[in-house]
Amino acid sequence: LDVSGLGSMSSIAVSYGENGPVFCGLNSDGSHMVTCFGADASVVYGAPFRLPLLGLTSGDSFVCGLQLDTSQPYCWGSNIYVKMGVPQPMVEGVSYSEISAGDNHLCALRKTGKGTSRGISLVDCWGYNMTASHEFRGGIAAITAGSVFNCGLFARNRTAFCWGDDTGSSVIGLTPRNMRFQSISAGGFHVCGILENSQVFCWGRSLEMQQSSSDVLGQGDVNMVPMYPMVSVVGGRFHACGIKSLDHGVVCWGFKLQNSVPPPKESKVYEIAAGDYFTCGVLAETLLRPLCWGTSGPWSLPIAVSPGICASNPCGPGYYEFSHVSFRVKICKPANSRVCLPCSVGCPEGMYQSTPCNLTSDRACRFNCSSCASAECSPFCYSGKKSKNRKVVSLQMPFILGELVLAAIAVTSVMLIACLYVRYKLRNCKCSDSELKTARSCTYSFHKESVKVRPHMEELKIRRARMFAYEELEKATGGFSEESIVGKGSFSYVFKGILKDGTLVAVKRAIKASDVKKNSKEFHTELDLLSRLNHAHLLNLLGYCEEGGERLLVYEYMAHGSLYQHLHGKDPTLKEQLGWVRRVTIAVQAARGIEYLHGYACPPVIHRDIKSSNILIDEEHNARVADFGLSLFAPDDSSAPLSELPAGTLGYLDPEYYRLHYLTTKSDVYSFGVLLLEILSGRKAIDMQYEEGNIVEWAVPLIKAGDISTLLDPVLKPPADLEALKKIASIACKCVRMRGKDRPSMDKVTTSLERALALLMGSPCIEQPILPTEVVLGSSRLHKKASQRSSNQSCSENDTADAEDQRFEYRAPSWITFPSVTSSQRRKSSVSEGDVDMKNLEGRSLANGGAGDGLRCLEEEIGPASPQEDLFLQHNF
Ligand SMILES: Nc1ncnc2c1ncn2[C@@H]1O[C@H](COP(=O)(O)OP(=O)(O)OP(=O)(O)O)[C@@H](O)[C@H]1O
């Protein structure tokens, strides 16, 4: 039996925590690979790439999967109590049949065999207050983990038992001794189970009181279970959701936060999983799309996920094997395994069961035509009985025809009125077709039609981007089909498309989320920035579309995908093909793009999300910096910090920005340093498969010790002369210095990299190798310097004021929120900054042996990190 919940194993999982919920699901293509979506970068980007998994479970800021090959758990995310990767300690060679995660722990049920005596079941747990092996007399059918407790179901008599900390929930004391369950699932402080008669019973603590703070206002008693028979139930923090037996519809009960999105009414689901206040289900329609609701919902994710976990035994009574014509590939990889789904029980009112549930399909229901008196059943009944009841039909024919004519007239009139209305609207308000601008600009456009005024500034800014109709982009991408997906971000999908004129484009489609404001901000930031910027190494925006809830950006198509795909993608030959000269060329070109943002764009721009997945490679193998969703306008004096809440991607985040919330162009320099280390070593910024998972912590001591060969990507043969790569390693080392002030500026980085590239290409006397795009641009350093001056000067007073405004207007939201630093800490830091002797600092760092010591320096400056911060720092730095 598969049960899914806050912590139980399922084909989908929902992690939660201070960085927001993340949905993870096993792909439906038989690969058993996991895909995650959400705001917590450590979970989204930490998800294993080539590791087939059988099932998933999740807790606070982490997700674990049961590995298909070894039957051992593998966890990712940023929970400090559960070791990421394979949990430790782990008995060698032991294998598990099920895993289940609580808030800060994971438990796994051992398969019988090695290390288990007859009649004894073993459950191994890891994490906060839980690391131990638990022995139980008798076979265990399933386990489930709550916040700080666990429960199991005995196989023989189907009774439940629980262990762990009972203080908050009383779950252990309240466990019903005589009830027999088909399955159980733990929530935060309660457990729900499906009894033998398919009714649900829940026990434990319920949050009934209304909380005082307005944003957590809510109510509902989780023990007040609806009376529907159910096939599956899952537990959230103080709520539960179940799938109804009758029609596979969803029903949720218990505590619900105010303003949270209700579960879908009409949709049927195959599988559900709950985070704390967030629940997701796999829709039982052909595409097997996930849908989430609750506090942060609704999310409708454009991927197909497995409707359940794969079982090696044939489906038992009450279950049928999932099969669907649209899935030509098998959902389960192991031979002779399948997804078993629970049969629906009974038929809705007015219907009878025409075919019982069998091995391959669910039961089917038909309308009872002898008692049909409603509009719902008549089409089915009359069409079915056409031959027999010809007389009845012929009598009714005039009425039916009359109704049809009336309906046609009504529909035509409505459409006509709608068309006239839209035309009227469009005539009156030119900008409303894009809905891009605010009501203010809409009023302006109205005036524009009647009184010829100067074009609005906003209009000018986006003049280079064309507005696309949604339909055109839908057509170009084959209806946003799965086959045309070329990449995914944490809140977007990127599709390849062909426009009517044959132009290849990449269409970035934001996932519809409830936080429309946030999405919209990022959309407009990117739109505004990209339509102002122009550089050979920045990704060109061709247009945009904003209709209803849809937000789409249209870019030039980059034939060779991202640098991330080359370095860490599924195809290992891509990495081998990316030789040293090509890697360093990409680094130089990306550096030029960033240098342009910092030094030549007016006002200067801080990208804030430099990473390998945002460096795209075009047909001619030139690099382009992409993804300006988080970018900000920097003050013209780019050394003056902005005080911004941290946003960006784990592993690339500047520690000074993270700790002090100081954002300058040097934050991009830090991320670029991480990118250089990634290019040199072929490792990901954070890769938990290594003992030292953080690239900076691993690489900086090696570089400082002069051990360059250990650093270099083992996939490539090292060049005959290591000098060039040594130089690049040293640049990377400087870029990732703890203090922004100690890092070089991007123009210095570019110059040094160009020299290193010349050296690598065997021409040490050429100071700067000419790269193909430079010739195209006709740019030269001298020209740049001059243009910098002129571009800075060209910032008229008005422009600057405008930019100032926009710095507020386009301030991106915090994607990763951390405890903020107090103003006194900030003051202390800014004082000490002036006092610190750079040489001493560097010497101290060296003496102490590496990047971790930089952290210590920072700690001395701003005081010790809070336990919370410490957790993050351990993972990120
Ligand atoms: N213009 C393009 N041409 C080809 N592929 C692209 C293009 N733009 C993006 N991609 C692909 O889509 C992926 C996702 O891009 P996107 O900018 O949405 O997200 P991201 O930057 O990787 O992640 P996040 O949104 O979390 O920062 C990229 O890594 C790349 O592989």
- Would you call the peptide bond into 89 cis, given omega within 30 degrees of 0 as the criterion? yes
The answer to whether the beta carbons of residues 228 and 180 sit under 8 Å apart is no
Concatenate the DSSP letters of all residues of 760-794 into one string: HTT-TT-SSPPPHHHHHHT--HHHHHHHHHHHHHT
Strands 466-467 and 541-547, sheet pairing:
parallel
Report the alpha-carbon distance of residue 144 to residue 26 in Å, rounded: 20
Q: Is 41 in the pocket of ligand 1 (CB under 6 A)?
A: no
ipTM of predicted complex: 0.97
Residue 69 annotated among the catalytic residues of the structure: no
Report the alpha-carbon distance of residue 285 to residue 308 in Å, rounded: 14
Atom of ligand 1 at shortest range from CA of 493: 18
Q: Is 61 in the pocket of ligand 1 (CB under 6 A)?
A: no
pLDDT of 317 reads: 85
Judged on CB neighbours under 10 Å (0-12, 13-18, 19+), 834 is: exposed
**827-834: Cβ within 8 A, 24+ apart:** 828/861, 828/862, 828/863, 829/660, 829/861, 829/862, 832/861, 833/739, 833/741, 833/861
Amino acid at 17: G
Q: Is 652 in the pocket of ligand 1 (CB under 6 A)?
A: no
Tokens of 232: 């599956």
Angle, alpha carbons 384-389-391 (nearest 5°): 140
Report the alpha-carbon distance of residue 602 to residue 787 in Å, rounded: 11
The answer to whether the beta carbons of residues 62 and 79 sit under 8 Å apart is yes
Is the alpha carbon torsion for 189, 194, 195, 199 positive or negative? positive
Backbone dihedral region for residue 788 (phi beyond 0: left; psi -120 to 50: alpha; all else: beta): alpha
The answer to whether the beta carbons of residues 599 and 746 sit under 8 Å apart is yes
Report the alpha-carbon distance of residue 630 to residue 523 in Å, rounded: 9
Indicate the pTM of the whole model: 0.51
Distance 47 CA to ligand 1 centre (A): 17
Q: Which of 2, 103, 276, 609 is catalytic?
A: 609
Distance 627 CA to ligand 1 centre (A): 7
Distance 488 CA to ligand 1 centre (A): 6
Q: Is 239 in the pocket of ligand 1 (CB under 6 A)?
A: no
Pocket test for ligand 1, best of 613, 649, 686 (most atoms within 8 A of CB): 613
Q: Is 40 in the pocket of ligand 1 (CB under 6 A)?
A: no
Which of 494, 495, 491, 493 lies closest to 515 in space, CA to CA? 491
418: part of which helix (H) or strand (E)? Answer: helix 390-428
Consecutive 10-residue averages of pLDDT for the chain (877 residues): 55 92 92 90 87 95 95 93 91 93 95 75 93 93 94 94 88 92 93 92 74 51 86 92 91 83 88 92 86 82 89 87 70 88 82 86 84 73 51 51 73 65 41 31 26 33 70 93 86 90 90 57 70 82 82 90 92 89 95 90 83 92 84 54 57 80 86 97 88 91 94 92 94 94 94 91 53 34 34 32 26 24 27 30 31 37 36 31
Pocket test for ligand 1, best of 488, 518, 557 (most atoms within 8 A of CB): 488
Tokens of 169: 């929930």
pLDDT of 380 reads: 73
